[in-house]
Structure 1
Amino acid sequence: MSDWREALFSPRRVAIVGASETPGKAGALFLRNLISPEAGFTGEVIGVHPTATELMGVPAFPRLDAAPAPVDLAVVVTPPATLPSVIEDCGRAKAPVAVVVTGGFAETGAEGAALQRKTIETARAQGVRLVGPNCFGVISTQSGLNASLSIGLPKKGGVSLVTQSGAYGMAAYSRSMDEGMGFSKIAALGNKADVDEADILAYLGADPETRVIALLLESLHDGRRLFETIASITPTKPVVALKTGRHPGAQRAAASHTAALSSDAAIVDAALRQAGAHLVEDGFSLLEVSASLDRQPPLRGKKVGIVTNSGGAGVELTDLLEAQGLAVPVLSAALQEKIASTLPSYGSPVNPVDVTTDWARFPAMYGASVEALMTSDDVDAVVPVLLQRSALMPEVAEAIIAAYARSRDAGSTKPLHVCWVAPKAADGNRARLLAAGIPCHLWPAGTATALAGVAARPAIAPPKPAIVGTAAPKRRDADGWASAPEAFAMLAQAGFPVAPFAIVSSASAAAAMAKEMGFPIVLKAERAGLTHKSDKGAVRVGLRDGDAAAQAFIDFERRLGPGPALMQPQAPPGLELVIGGRRDPSFGPIILVGLGGVLIEIFNDVALRLAPIDAREARDMLEGLKCRRLFQGHRGAPPLGVEKFAHLLADVSQWFQAASSIAELDLNPVIADGDRYTIVDVRMRLA
């Protein structure tokens, strides 16, 4: 078997290197898991043991290359010092892939890291791909493969889980047993010394047995490749992602606004969203949302219809959904009339639909209301709340299942989720709903989180070809910052709307240039290492005559030492925005936009994307800002030309992506006045 990924998930022959019959040893556990009748692995299993010829009824050999037939997958549980020689044996036996469960490598310190490097060097020399080391193993329910530490094989289903954490491999089994969640494949990657999540995702994206991919990230080293891989999958298959370690105790010092606001966690979140992934914030939600997407289509709008037998629960769920950015709209008059015909006179068809406490009529009211909502255009998803008595009645569950089936037969493709608030005595009814493909989430808070998690993001459009970059500025200070005149000139050469500027080197030159430029003017001191000029009193605005310009220049020299100043006409009042860019070591060029000015880091109202982007993606960034209401005009200010600004943002992103000589870029502020945008300040750090 030449394809290592097929060999990993559908091997014909598996070898346990370090196999044993001794209870408590990893070699015994893995051997027992692979030959378990309950798992049903149809391939051949062999053991590798220095002296035994048979273990638990399977043949054993002293080395892999002593086996009479080729091995597709080697599962290694021998001590860490043996790994280089074991991988050499894999190469001689032509085994395309090895899963190294053994720990004691880079996770333990410098000595372990050196052994890990030696093992990977050996694997590459032998043409062997390596999963791990220090990993949980792999599972494929379709082939009955349990080459993992799991105590059993999960139920079959469409979710494939990719994780660094072995604990979530264990959790997958328990969720499968307790919640009926079905899995296709599980790969726990451990130290990711060779095979990483992008390798596995690329395979699962094309795997017909995988309908949803659940991804748990702890660390990553090639963010751009991961982004591109996920973006290639999400137009046809959901990817649900959780990144842990998102809130470090301290943030590295940053010189520019862009660097300070584009933290590692923010970049990972932005990249995953941009790639079309469904983002979640905890492991429970990772599996809950993934299972929901395996059972139901994604939510492709924001409008949710609720049916409840408790007005209080309906109100609580409404609040929680709207806090997640979803909506619970008033239903149309025609739909209200249709639903009202099945309710008592004191019921409410408005939304949430309240069927009241008329217990005897629960099955008919729930069934009719769910079907009416599922087949209407008023809502994009339907959530029946089953609380206590309605949950305890099997007739209600059967009525919802029947209404769901009729709505699907009628062509409805919207998702149906149940909000479950019930005692354990009702678990049988919940199991019926789950078996029918209807997710049941615990309590309103869990339901709102799950609904927000299954909301689809439109597939991203391919970025435009990058604009050709221009020559890098020649002058820079010790920290790599380009001089302002050269940075402005570079932007102007690219066609961006920079404010006119001039450099003055004396008080008399400042007075003369101010008269020529026209009043009012702005004067900014130019000094090496002067980062945030406003903080140092290095910016003077509203200068209305030549004497004022000269005095400002003299003040700069007195306080900041000798040096030139940059002069500009003062821009008219407007909304201050920021456009920034920087090159992340893992994700490459990123672009930032948000509320700018001197309070930028106070409000932290920014959106991030990987560059380059197009105008559609730029509009999506602007829509995500808290300050977006200001774009409509505020206290007499004209509405902003959002479409024009989106094109400017997209153009800057493409230019920055191509200008590889620039490591960091701050355009702050960009003054927005109606359809006019003016870049009045720039900071540019060179690579």
Structure 2
Amino acid sequence: MTDWQDALFAPRRVAVVGASASPRKAGALFLRNLTALEAGFEGEVVAIHPSASELLGCPAYPSLAAVPGPVDLAIVVTPPAAVPNVIADCGAAGVPVAIVISGGFAETGRRGVELQREVAGMAAARGVRILGPNCFGVINTACGLNGSLSIGLPSRGGISLLTQSGAYGMAAYGRSTDDGTGFAKIVALGNKLDLDDVELLEFLGRDPETRVVAMLLESISDGRGLFEAAAAVATRKPIVALKTGRHPDAQRAAASHTAALSGDAAVIFAALRQAGVHLVEDGLALLDVAASLDRQPPLRGRNIGIVTNSGGTGVELTDLLESKGLAVPALSPGLQAKIASQLPPQGSAVNPIDVATDWERFAAMYEFAVEALMTSEEVDAVVPVLLQRSALMPEVGDVVIAASARARERGSLKPIHVCWVAPRSADANRKKLQAAGVPCHAWPGATATILAGAVSRPLRPLARLSAREPILQPAAVDDAGWLTSAAAFSLLQQSGFPVARWMVVTDPAAAAAAAAKMQFPVVLKAERPKLAHKSDAGAVRLGLTDGAAVAEAFEDFSRRLGAGPALLQRQEGPGVELILGARRDPLFGPIVMAGLGGVWTEVLDDVALRLAPIDADEARTMLDELKGHKVLAGFRGRPPIDLIRFARLIGDLSQWFCAAAWLSELDLNPIIANGDDFTIVDARMRVVNSSRSLEQEGRDHGDAH
């Protein structure tokens, strides 16, 4: 039996179910696309039609069972109600894969959901793999297969596009026509009834014709699986991803900072970054970055060398690159002197290198400067700005092409990207550069965006889960699933985490007596069911310096909040306030969060995320991502915190949380840091409700507000 990969991408016989001769119908479009001479598909194409014997030059049969010999791939363009019977026919005829182009399924509402479930059940029972429904189709340029809604077959290249948007499948042909961007395969997932992004990404990772994978993701159904597949593929070839739907109109309320700051979009981006994926923010950048990575190696550092014939454009590009986290460093005196020897007196060799207006020598100066930068260790990429006159001179483009070719011959992985600012009359020179593997980006803004997107992302795999004694779930849980503070602190203390000295008190006199033994000043916190944010409710009293103040605070809690116990703690001295958190995401599983804590948690929204478990080395990289990382290095006379020790604490917490499978959410905020000393002064833990799914848990995070 043909496996689904061969049947989908290299079928020997394709059947169009719902074929038609009417030029306005999809059944005719697919027959034309599959048999177009310019595409060159060598497989056989047959039409499935109830009465015709031939359609648009293709033999026609009343059913799949009537086709003589095996059919590898069925493309289904029937009305949606007919699709279950078509899939049953596929199973009876031994067709391994069906692409369901037809819409009218889960995307349309309840009745469509039911119909999609019927199709899924039929496919599973009959052993038929499904791409779609409600999808654009599939393209494989290597064999000329255009089993899609595209108006033509794009030119052959190394990009494979995995998309949930049929519009981007259409756009691939336009990009190919306009600037020569080449594609290997295009696959539209549609509603992902069966074949999904994980299986197809794994296939594209093995596919020798795919050099770069571009992914447009609208929804993710298996986050952990996608992370693992992306992490494996990214070691062999670049992956560029755009995730749409990042800013929903309404974010769900969250009962802890961990839940609030690690929402769906934040987790998705963190997971993809951790897997080594290049992330972009729009569809144009998706195709631009993928095309650049198909033509040139990834950018393995952040220092950019610029050669320009316009000082103003060079400065603009420098600003834009630096705004994207890249740098345009001044060159060393020796390299400046070497380059300046070939420039006119009014030129500049600092970086950007400005060759000024000596037009007759443009080619020679560009060649010398570009080659000097390409062979220097001072920059990680070279950007010749070809602006107006330099772009119009084919000899300038030729020297850039030659410099790129020499770099590849030397085995250099330093990329060249051209910033192109030129009239349409220079298009022939631009196309020549692109055909030679040198990407050209229109104007400095696009150049900076694409270079930033092309920066190589280090793969950060998950750590091995350490062996430890089982962590048992305590019984002290309220109706919303939250542990009491005493239970949470006990768990942390038993596991060796640094918690502030604490005890539970049940009346004013006991509170005052315990405080005297604890050493003043102390903190008193009311303990009441569903009291999610104690500070907001006036349930925390700081700086209590004698027994009378402690007793008065306890009585105040009782008057305002009702009778109940309180948690007494020794008040820690001043220090840097940090937050650590963890939760079980319904798509990605355990995640860990670290950032600045206390009031800064909500003000700055400054946290870093990772899928867990992680080790201390990976935790250390999280701290460099924080916008407020300078606070950790010491300020206004305060000592820097021990980042290595804090990273070890993050790693240990991620391991502990993964081992506590009953725990859905953990919030340690704040942790007071002084040098190498860390003290957890507040802890909140929520238990997974076994009667509900984690997905439901995610929706219910707001129930404690």
**Same fold, TM exceeding 0.5?**
yes
CA distance in 2 between counterparts of 1:278 and 1:46 reads 41
The match for 1:10 is 10
Aligned residues: 687
C-alpha deviation, 1:411, in angstroms: 3.5
Determine the structure 2 residue equivalent to 1:604.
605
2:13–2:72: 8 Å Cα contact kept in structure 1? yes
Aligned equivalents of 1:208 and 1:264: distance in 2? 33
Distance 2:593 2:462 in 1: 19
Q: For the Cα contact (< 8 Å) 2:158–2:211, is it kept in 1?
A: yes
Q: Take 1:518 and 1:551, find their aligned partners in 2: how far apart are those partners?
A: 18
Is the counterpart of residue 384 in structure 1 residue 381 in structure 2?
Answer: no
Instruction: Return the alpha-carbon distance in structure 1 between the equivalents of residues 83 and 23 of structure 2.
Output: 23
Q: Which residue of 1 aligns with 2:260?
A: 260
**After the TM superposition, which of the residue ranges 236-245 and 554-563 deviates more from structure 2?**
554-563
The 8 Å contact of residues 100 and 130 in structure 2, kept in 1 or not, is answered as yes
**Equivalence for 2:28:** 28
Q: Could you tell which deviates more after superposition, 287-296 or 496-505?
A: 496-505
Q: What residue number does 2:121 align with?
A: 121
Unaligned runs of 5+ in 2: 689-705
How far residue 41 of structure 1 moved from its aligned partner, in angstroms, is: 0.4
Match of 2:346 in 1: 346
**For 1:462 and 1:552, how far apart are their aligned partners in 2?**
46
Equivalent residue number for residue 171 of structure 1: 171
2:229 maps to which residue?
A: 229
Deviations 1:198-241 (A, max 9, x none): 11101001111100000000111211111111111111111100
Equivalent position of 1:295 in the other structure: 295
Whole-Å separation in 1 of the counterparts to 2:273 and 2:77: 38
Measured after TM superposition, the shift of residue 93 of structure 1 is 1.2
Does residue 652 of structure 2 align to residue 651 of structure 1? yes
Q: Distance in 2 between matches of 1:539 and 1:599?
A: 18
Aligned to 1:130, the other structure's residue is in SS state strand
Q: Map 1:523-672; keep pairs closer than 5 Å.
A: 523-672=524-673
Q: Which residues in structure 2 correspond to 1:345-494 (within 5 Å)? A: 345-466=345-466, 468=468, 469-494=470-495
Which deviations, in whole Å up to 9, do the C-alpha atoms of 1:505-540 show, x marking residues without a partner? 111111111111111111111111111111111111
- 2: CA distance, partners of 1:111 / 1:496: 52
Alignment partner, residue 209 of structure 1? 209
State the distance in 2 between where 1:261 and 1:554 align: 35
The CA deviation at 1:461 is 3.3
| Deviations 1:131-188 (CA, angstroms, capped at 9, x unpaired) | 0111100000001100000011000000000001100000011001101000000001
1:289-328 equivalent positions in 2, closer than 5 A: 289-328=289-328
Alpha-carbon distance in 1 for matches of 2:477, 2:467:
24
Code of the aligned partner of 2:504: I
Q: CA contact under 8 A between 1:375 and 1:410: conserved in structure 2?
A: no
Take 2:89 and 2:138, find their aligned partners in 1: how far apart are those partners? 21
Contact 1:52/1:61 (CA < 8 Å) preserved in 2?
yes
3-state SS of paired residue (1:459)? coil
**Partners of 2:581 and 2:666 within 8 A in 1:** yes
Deviation by residue 1:90-134 (Cα, 9 ceiling, x = unmatched)? 111111110000111111111111111101100000000000111
TM-score by length of 1: 0.99
Deviation at 1:467, TM superposition (A): 5.2
Whole-Å separation in 1 of the counterparts to 2:249 and 2:357: 51
Provide the C-alpha distance between the structure 1 equivalents of 2:45 and 2:343, rounded to a whole number of angstroms.
Answer: 62
Partner of 2:56 in structure 1?
A: 56
Q: Choose 279-288 or 258-267, whichever is displaced more.
A: 258-267
Give the equivalent residue in structure 2 for 1:277. 277
Deviation digits for residues 421-471 of structure 1 (CA, Å, limit 9, x no counterpart):
111011011001101100001110000000000001112234122454511
After superposition, the C-alpha distances for 1:398-423 in whole angstroms (9 at most, x for unaligned) are: 11111222233333210110001111
Query: Conserved in 1, the CA contact under 8 Å of 2:392 and 2:425?
Result: yes
Check conservation: 1:133, 1:190, Cα contact below 8 A. yes
Name the amino acid aligned to 1:521.
V
**Structure 2: distance between partners of 1:624 and 1:47:** 56
* Partners of 1:303 and 1:604 in 2: CA distance: 29
What is the TM-score with the length of structure 2 in the denominator? 0.96
Secondary structure of residue in 1 paired with 2:343: coil
In structure 2, the partner of 1:246 is: 246
Deviations 1:634-686 (A, max 9, x none): 11111111111111111111111221111111000011111111111001111
Q: Distance in 2 between matches of 1:268 and 1:584?
A: 10
Q: Aligned in 2, Cα 1:497/1:247: closer, same or farther, shift over 3 Å?
A: same
Q: In structure 1, the residue corresponding to 2:535 is in which secondary structure? A: helix
In 1, the alpha carbon distance for the partners of 2:176 and 2:633 equals 49
Equivalent position SS for 1:671: strand
User: Which moves more between the two structures, 579-588 or 461-470?
Assistant: 461-470
The Cα offsets for residues 603-658 of structure 1, whole Å up to 9 and x where unpaired, read as: 10111111112222211211100110011111111111111111111111111122
Is contact 1:466-1:657 (8 Å) kept? Answer: no
The answer to whether the 8 A contact 1:371-1:406 is kept is no
- Unaligned 5+ runs, structure 1: none
Kept in 1: contact 2:462–2:612 (CA 8 A): no
Distance 1:11 1:198 in 2: 22
Q: How far did residue 542 of structure 1 move?
A: 1.4
Cα distance in 1 between the residues matched to 2:564 and 2:114: 52
User: In the aligned structure 2, how far is the partner of 1:683 from the partner of 1:598?
Assistant: 16
Partner SS for 1:534 = coil
- State the secondary structure of the residue aligned to 1:533: coil
Whole-Å Cα distance in 1 between the matches of residues 269 and 353 of structure 2?
36
Given that 2:486 and 2:504 are in contact with CA atoms closer than 8 Å, whether structure 1 keeps it comes out as yes
Letter in 2 for 1:555: D
Deviation at 1:579, TM superposition (A): 0.5
Q: CA deviation at 1:285?
A: 0.2
SS at match of 1:530: coil
Deviation at residue 543 of structure 1 after TM alignment: 1.4
Paired residue type of 2:686:
R
Match of 1:147 in 2: 147
Partner Cα distance (2:573, 2:307) in 1: 54
Alpha-carbon offset, residue 583 of structure 1:
1.4
Contact 1:161 1:186 in 2 (8 A): yes
The question of whether the paired residues in 2 share the 8 Å contact of 1:467 and 1:654 is answered with no
Contact 1:175/1:181 (<8 A) preserved: yes
**C-alpha separation in 2, matches of 1:198 and 1:562:** 53
| Contact 1:368/1:403, CA 8 A, preserved across alignment | no
Which residue does the alignment assign to 2:516? 515
- Alpha-carbon deviation of 1:574? 0.7
Q: CA deviation at 1:299?
A: 0.5
The 10-residue stretch of structure 1 (117-126 or 406-415) with the greater mean CA deviation from structure 2: 406-415
What is the alpha-carbon distance in structure 2 between the residues aligned to residue 630 and residue 101 of structure 1?
Answer: 54
Equivalence for 2:192: 192
Cα distance in 1 for partners of 2:271, 2:611 equals 6
- Quick one: percent identity of the two aligned structures? 64
The 10-residue stretch of structure 1 (5-14 or 405-414) with the greater mean CA deviation from structure 2: 405-414
Distance 1:467 1:178 in 2: 56
> What CA distance in whole angstroms lies between the structure 2 residues aligned with 1:559 and 1:255?
22
Runs of 4+, deviation exceeding 4 Å: none
1:560 & 1:407 partners in 2: Cα distance?
72
